[in-house]
Structure 1
Amino acid sequence: MLGNFVKFLKNENERRINVIKFNAIVGFPSVSGCIDCTRIPIVNPGGDDLVAGPKMEISDIVVQHPDSTHDSVIFDRSAIRVRFEQGQICGLLSGDNGYACRSYLLTPVIYPTAQQEEKL
């Protein structure tokens, strides 16, 4: 039943819809998903990553790491990272400062020095 509840964007139209919804929520263009590591005590349902959409739906999940594993390590070892880096998934991910900023993964500016950075 994992595929019924956890699924990433199937096509370009679904990605565009997510981008529109995220932009409507926070006024941030091009975001198609938000990433964070949330530990939930479950039995492995057979997924690979964790990404959520604008309606708080789970788009992808990773279940192979213990609680002590840092979020960024889990993401670095994930299939979804590879898919973004290979251009199989368009758009941007929004993450917290536990992740490295990448061309497809935006993270907050911790110590903003310009007005534009303060908006992030």
Structure 2
Amino acid sequence: MARVPNVLRAVDGTLIKILAPSKNEQSYVCKKGFLALNVQAVADSSLRFTDLVCKWPGAVYDRFIFNESGLNTYLSGVCNGWLLGDPGYPLKPYLMTPISNPQSQAECNYKSAHCRTRVVVERAFGVLKSRFRCLNPTGGVLPFALPKSLKAIVACFKLHNKCINDGVPNPDIEFEEDVHDINVNADLPPNPAGHQIRQRLVQRFQ
């Protein structure tokens, strides 16, 4: 995928509007101010989704969702490449994030390549939500109770993959405004192994 070597996939979260749940409504109010689920997915270069976590309220940070996922557990034991994530994700040996304030040309080059590679997951979300307007903010709110909404979302992801596999043309997409979980990682201890691997990657962009 693009210029970043050994990339497995790209990971991101997307917000999907829902009706008010029967319990803990406030926990579903997302960073954009509406009731939502924060759905984590991993996409490959074909815009196919290869991993999905669909259960967390909209107020939950991307970092937390990833750390609690089975994918995190799996990759921590089998690391032969890495995912790419935005600044809302924790830097790990198997999860590369951008450098917030690049100081050298190599760091700038790395950040640019990271962005160009990671965009596949944003494009995949764009195609998904253009194909299934019920998931798009412009399409309103999923008109179901929470359990049925979860099933509907998963079904849309599966049908999206079938469309990709069957060669159905992708619809025109509109990128959503990407609001990162700014500073949520600021109070976390650094990950020395992840930092070391990222620095080795940066050296390839000199």
Q: State the TM-score, normalizing by the size of structure 1.
A: 0.69
- Corresponding position of 1:110: 100
- Rg (Cα) greater in structure: 2
Task: Identify if the C-alpha distance between structure 1 residues 108 and 63 changes in structure 2 by more than 3 Å, giving closer, same or farther.
Answer: same
TM alignment of 1:80-95, pairs within 5 A? 80-87=71-78, 90-95=80-85
Which ranges in structure 2 are unaligned for 5 or more consecutive residues?
19-38, 111-206
What per-residue deviation string (whole Å, max 9, x for no partner) do you get for residues 22-73 of structure 1? 1xxx21110010000112358xxxxx96211111111111112111111111
Q: How big is the alpha-carbon RMSD for the aligned residues of Structure 1 and Structure 2?
A: 1.8
**Higher-helix-fraction structure:** 2
CA contact (8 A) 2:12 2:40 kept: no
TM alignment of 1:1-120, pairs within 5 A? 22=1, 26-40=2-16, 50-87=41-78, 90-120=80-110
Which ranges in structure 1 are unaligned for 5 or more consecutive residues?
1-21, 43-47
Secondary structure of residue in 1 paired with 2:57: coil
CA contact (8 A) 2:40 2:62 kept: no
The Cα shift of 1:94 comes to 0.5
CA contact (8 A) 1:92 1:104 kept: yes
How many positions carry a matched residue from both structures? 90
Q: Percent identity?
A: 31
